[in-house]
Chains A and B, each alone.
Chain A
Amino acid sequence: AIVADFHKKIKDAFEVFDHESNNTVDVREIGTIIRSLGCCPTEGELHDLIAEVEEEEPTGFIRYEKFLPVMTKVLLERKYRPIPEDVLLRAFEVLDTAKHGFLTKEELIKYMTEEGEPFSQEEMEEMLSAAIDPESNSINYKEYITMMVIDEN
């Protein structure tokens, strides 16, 4: 029954991007689909997943028949769990070496575009637009997290 429920959820999410109604989606949308199903993989993990659902000779499209079993397994195993608020907060605190309670815009840009799995320019700009307080040119990360979490729910 749980599996049936997962199947329905996966189908619905898949269909949003199945523009031609032929049970395929563009491989570039797979990340969005997987993440909207509640998973939070890294880019690396995402690439591995894509490799699993791709055709032997990659066509640029992912077929539903291949995607469904892989995604079901991911959901059943509760892989790539979302990140709890407090862990996220601690991550920001790690970057905030001076322990100010905020990061400057430059610091944020540096970390997000040079460390980890770097942001693209578009991603960086979008994050800045919401996160940075234009008056102080910094991000109060505790407030930011709270705002984002509320917004999600």
Chain B
Amino acid sequence: MGSSTSAPHRFAFQNAEHAFKAAALIQRWYRRYMARLEMRRRCTWSIFQSIEYAGQQDQVKLHDFFSYLVDHFTPRNHNERDFLNRMFTEERFAQDSEMEKSSDFESIEVPDSYTGPRLSFPLLPDQATALVEAFRLKQQLHARYVLNLLYETRKHLAQLPNINRVSTCYSEEITVCGDLHGQLDDLIFIFYKNGLPSPERAYVFNGDFVDRGKESVEILMVLFAFMLVYPKEFHLNRGNHEDHMVNLRYGFTKEVLHKYKTHGKKILRTLQDVFCWLPLATLVDEKVLVLHGGISDRTDLEFLAKLDRHKIVSTLRCKMRKESTKQEEEKKTANQPSSAQEPTPWFLPQSRSLPSTPFHLRPDKAHRAGRSCSIPCPGALDRQELSRHARRSVDLELERCRQQAGFPGIKESEEPSPLASGPDPESGELLEPTQEEWRQVVDILWSDPMAQEGCKANTVRGGGCYFGPDVTQQLLERYSLQLLIRSHECKPEGYEFCHNRKVLTIFSASNYYEVGSNRGAYVKLGPSLTPHIVQYQANKGTHLLTMRQRISRVEESALRALRKKLFAHSSDLLDEFKKHDADKTGIISLSDWAAAVESVLHLGLPWRMLRPQLVNSSTDNMLEYKTWLESLAKEQLSRENIQSSLLEKLYRNRSNLETIFRIIDSDHSGFISLDEFRQTWKLFSSHMNIDISDDCICDLARSIDFNKDGQIDINEFLEAFRLVEQSCSEGRDSACPQSTDTSDGGPSSPDPH
């Protein structure tokens, strides 16, 4: 450098150099800080996602279990038969004739005192707009109008094809929205920002309108109303949550029953039907395919266009009709060898790891081994195809199950009746889809894209596939398409392109996991079909927070949820910790802690990264595990007397329990009999390997029946263990009715119906 420069110049130069260096240092430091924030955000996201998907897996497992029982269990007497039938009453035959009767709602009187919106049919545009405004003001639509609207909706939907076609010739722009999940604020915001639906402004809503959020009913009312008003411009696709089975678990059923105490059941029954009439996909200008989940390497749009979508009531469980022998043979010669060997259900002890157990619990790496096709429903087991060995083990397992449940045993030579008796009666065949039909629909409602090439079973969700860019390419080429728009997955920015920008995920429920967790987005398509994305976040408060604060809030929430899960597995964790503590010092290394926690919870989370937030009582990288578990418990429980392992087990299975109860309570009365509770619990616990003695269960059941009338109020039961309250304090679940009604802890008054 210039030694010949004068002093002031040199000074200035040095200053400049110093400034450069100083700035660089600050930037370096700042970037590291942001990277650590980003890491925290990712971990938080993983927590929420893994808990969400583990819950979905659980539910799939649960339904498989019941499906299997219903299909293979031979009731010994009419009580048993009734009990099992009630678990999965489809009530289809009754519904179809019921649907013709408009007297369903006409007989319902609307009191003069009702100040909410009133609807008259045929619906006019300003009525639909008025509906939005009424809901914004937190009014509730009367059951009569709800049912009337649903009746008209069903009539309309039944005329629509499976794959709707929209053109940008007629409407100048088409707006596609993703999952809303009961978040009415987001829908209102979209209409506010993008404009209400009109002949010039077409909309496609891509499924998952309900569950989780608290205003699923209102969203449906608005969407259906606009669809009736603008049938050519307003389109809906079915999502995996438009499914009464899924609704049992994820809050929609609860919401309806709470908001409509008298007519809720009728509404739910009607909705069950409406959902299966929802179209499966929308095609824009024959070039852009819009569907909820994704595709598989077997997706056949022509096949999908022709099937009777109404037959697929739930994608979770399928009563399948046997394909005729001729069809089976055709399949065998035409298709891969894999169809020759059906997998055995996951819960049989003889089941091996993948590919025979598609619904294995672990989401982690080793079990995402390849399968070239989507997961068939285990309920579709064709008995003739089971090897003798497998069949025998099935029978043995069933026998064990029955004995544990207290049912009298069957002789081993006896064949279970349902499938062994000849072909299904005529009506049965017409009402049930084939396995291929079911699988095609499951694929488009449940699949997720992945970066790798290929197509493999979606073990994380328990249904559908992971499809790679080559699968996308193949489909787009085959049908001359240029873009696939799908939803189904929450994205931090509300949208995400993948597969070389050939697949667009659009997700419209902002703040899905927690306030500040993600933005929502919608996409607009003009005649050029170039996607134009608009993002938003429906909570002004979060805009004012810095990224750091936003991440902290969401992180707090995720960690709370995670600590709850850890607590629920306290006994198992203790056992696992002890294994690492051979010398019985009461202390293990943090490394062992991480390994132990993962082996118990199977969430596939980066425990070492999360450790500082979960364990704050360690010294020298060692942990006194008993103390840690106790501190977890203290956080979760306020009363010291609730420390039994029974509570823990029940707590861990809370969602499953709730779902089971709702399934048993098929008439949605809010009550199940003590006996049903006992029987169900036995069956459930024997297969979930939960070890609770019969006496314990009987005592428990009796103690819950406060008024000793031989019936258990579901919500009473859950409340007795403070579980409903827990979910209310999270603020995430849908409306928790009874906890607000029963302020002084007595049994809530039974529903008049």
Binding site for B on A (CB under 8 A): 5, 8-9, 12-13, 15-17, 19-22, 31-36, 39-43, 82-83, 87-88, 90-92, 94-95, 97, 111-112, 115-119, 123, 126-127, 129-130, 148, 151-152
Please state if A94 and B22 are interface contacts (CB–CB under 8 Å): yes
CB distance from B537 to the nearest CB of A (A): 15
CB distance from A24 to the nearest CB of B (A): 8
CA A17 to CA B607, docked complex, whole Å: 14
B707 contacts chain A at the CB level, 8 A cutoff: no
CA A94 to CA B43, docked complex, whole Å: 37
CA A148 to CA B30, docked complex, whole Å: 10
CA A117 to CA B20, docked complex, whole Å: 9
Closest to B591 in A: A8
Given A35-B35, A36-B39, A126-B34, A13 contacting B25 (CB threshold 8 A): no
User: What residues of B have a CB within 8 angstroms of the CB of A19 in the complex?
Assistant: 451
User: What residues of A have a CB within 8 angstroms of the CB of B15 in the complex?
Assistant: 97
Binding site for A on B (CB under 8 A): 15, 18-36, 38-39, 42-43, 46, 364-365, 368, 450-452, 546-548, 591, 594, 606-609
Please state if B548 and A112 are interface contacts (CB–CB under 8 Å): no
User: What residues of A have a CB within 8 angstroms of the CB of B608 in the complex?
Assistant: 8-9, 12
Please state if A87 and B19 are interface contacts (CB–CB under 8 Å): no
Given A12-B608, A22-B452, A152-B33, A42 contacting B28 (CB threshold 8 A): yes
Please state if A152 and B24 are interface contacts (CB–CB under 8 Å): no
CA A89 to CA B34, docked complex, whole Å: 18
B23, B30, B39: the one within 8 Å of A13 (CB): B39
Please state if A82 and B546 are interface contacts (CB–CB under 8 Å): no
CA A129 to CA B368, docked complex, whole Å: 42
CA A122 to CA B18, docked complex, whole Å: 25
Q: Could you list 21 A-B pairs, sorted by A, with CB under 8 Å?
A: A8-B608, A13-B39, A16-B43, A16-B609, A20-B450, A34-B35, A42-B24, A83-B28, A91-B26, A92-B26, A111-B26, A112-B26, A115-B20, A115-B22, A115-B23, A116-B20, A116-B21, A123-B30, A126-B547, A130-B548, A152-B33
A17, A83, A129: the one within 8 Å of B29 (CB): A83
User: What residues of B have a CB within 8 angstroms of the CB of A115 in the complex?
Assistant: 19-20, 22-24
What would 17 more interface pairs be, CB under 8 Å, given A16-B42, A83-B25, A116-B23?
Answer: A12-B594, A20-B450, A35-B35, A39-B32, A40-B32, A42-B28, A91-B25, A94-B19, A94-B21, A95-B22, A112-B26, A112-B27, A115-B22, A126-B547, A129-B547, A130-B546, A151-B548
User: What residues of A have a CB within 8 angstroms of the CB of B368 in the complex?
Assistant: 21
A13, A90, A123: the one within 8 Å of B34 (CB): A123
Closest to B42 in A: A16
CB distance from A4 to the nearest CB of B (A): 9
User: What residues of B have a CB within 8 angstroms of the CB of A36 in the complex?
Assistant: 35-36, 38-39, 609
User: What residues of A have a CB within 8 angstroms of the CB of B33 in the complex?
Assistant: 148, 152
CA A25 to CA B604, docked complex, whole Å: 16
Determine chain B's interface SS by DSSP, over half rule.
helix
User: What residues of A have a CB within 8 angstroms of the CB of B365 in the complex?
Assistant: 21
Please state if A88 and B25 are interface contacts (CB–CB under 8 Å): yes
Please state if A95 and B23 are interface contacts (CB–CB under 8 Å): yes
User: What residues of B have a CB within 8 angstroms of the CB of A126 in the complex?
Assistant: 34, 546-547
Closest to B606 in A: A12
Please state if B36 and A87 are interface contacts (CB–CB under 8 Å): no
CB distance from A6 to the nearest CB of B (A): 11
CA A151 to CA B547, docked complex, whole Å: 13
Closest to B38 in A: A32
Closest to B452 in A: A20
Please state if A13 and B609 are interface contacts (CB–CB under 8 Å): yes
Closest to A111 in B: B23
Q: Name the residue in B29, B591, B594, B609 with the highest tally of chain A Cβ atoms < 10 Å from its Cβ.
A: B29
CA A19 to CA B466, docked complex, whole Å: 12
Please state if A87 and B25 are interface contacts (CB–CB under 8 Å): yes
CB distance from B47 to the nearest CB of A (A): 11
User: What residues of B have a CB within 8 angstroms of the CB of A130 in the complex?
Assistant: 546-548
CA A33 to CA B36, docked complex, whole Å: 8
CA A97 to CA B22, docked complex, whole Å: 12
Given A13-B606, A88-B29, A94-B22, A129 contacting B546 (CB threshold 8 A): yes
Please state if A20 and B451 are interface contacts (CB–CB under 8 Å): yes
Given A35-B31, A130-B548, A16 contacting B26 (CB threshold 8 A): no
User: What residues of B have a CB within 8 angstroms of the CB of A34 in the complex?
Assistant: 35
User: What residues of B have a CB within 8 angstroms of the CB of A123 in the complex?
Assistant: 30-31, 34
CB distance from A20 to the nearest CB of B (A): 5
CB distance from B371 to the nearest CB of A (A): 15
B27, B35, B42: the one within 8 Å of A31 (CB): B35
User: What residues of A have a CB within 8 angstroms of the CB of B28 in the complex?
Assistant: 40-43, 83, 117
CA A5 to CA B43, docked complex, whole Å: 20
CA A123 to CA B365, docked complex, whole Å: 34
A5, A17, A111: the one within 8 Å of B19 (CB): A111
User: What residues of B have a CB within 8 angstroms of the CB of A117 in the complex?
Assistant: 24, 27-28
User: What residues of B have a CB within 8 angstroms of the CB of A9 in the complex?
Assistant: 608
Given A16-B46, A20-B450, A119 contacting B27 (CB threshold 8 A): yes
CA A92 to CA B26, docked complex, whole Å: 8
Closest to A14 in B: B606
Q: Name the residue in A19, A20, A41 with the highest tally of chain B Cβ atoms < 10 Å from its Cβ.
A: A20
User: What residues of A have a CB within 8 angstroms of the CB of B26 in the complex?
Assistant: 88, 91-92, 95, 111-112, 116
Closest to B365 in A: A21
Please state if B24 and A16 are interface contacts (CB–CB under 8 Å): no
Closest to B451 in A: A20
Please state if B546 and A31 are interface contacts (CB–CB under 8 Å): no
A16, A41, A82: the one within 8 Å of B39 (CB): A16
Please state if A32 and B606 are interface contacts (CB–CB under 8 Å): no
User: What residues of A have a CB within 8 angstroms of the CB of B606 in the complex?
Assistant: 12-13, 15-16
User: What residues of B have a CB within 8 angstroms of the CB of A13 in the complex?
Assistant: 39, 606, 609
The 9 closest A-B pairs by CB, nearest first: A116-B24, A116-B23, A35-B35, A115-B23, A36-B39, A91-B22, A94-B22, A12-B608, A130-B546
Please state if A31 and B31 are interface contacts (CB–CB under 8 Å): yes
User: What residues of B have a CB within 8 angstroms of the CB of A20 in the complex?
Assistant: 450-452
User: What residues of B have a CB within 8 angstroms of the CB of A95 in the complex?
Assistant: 19, 22-23, 26
User: What residues of A have a CB within 8 angstroms of the CB of B23 in the complex?
Assistant: 91, 95, 111-112, 115-116
CB distance from A95 to the nearest CB of B (A): 5
Closest to A17 in B: B42
Closest to A9 in B: B608
User: What residues of A have a CB within 8 angstroms of the CB of B34 in the complex?
Assistant: 123, 126
CA A33 to CA B39, docked complex, whole Å: 8
CB distance from A138 to the nearest CB of B (A): 16
Please state if A32 and B39 are interface contacts (CB–CB under 8 Å): yes
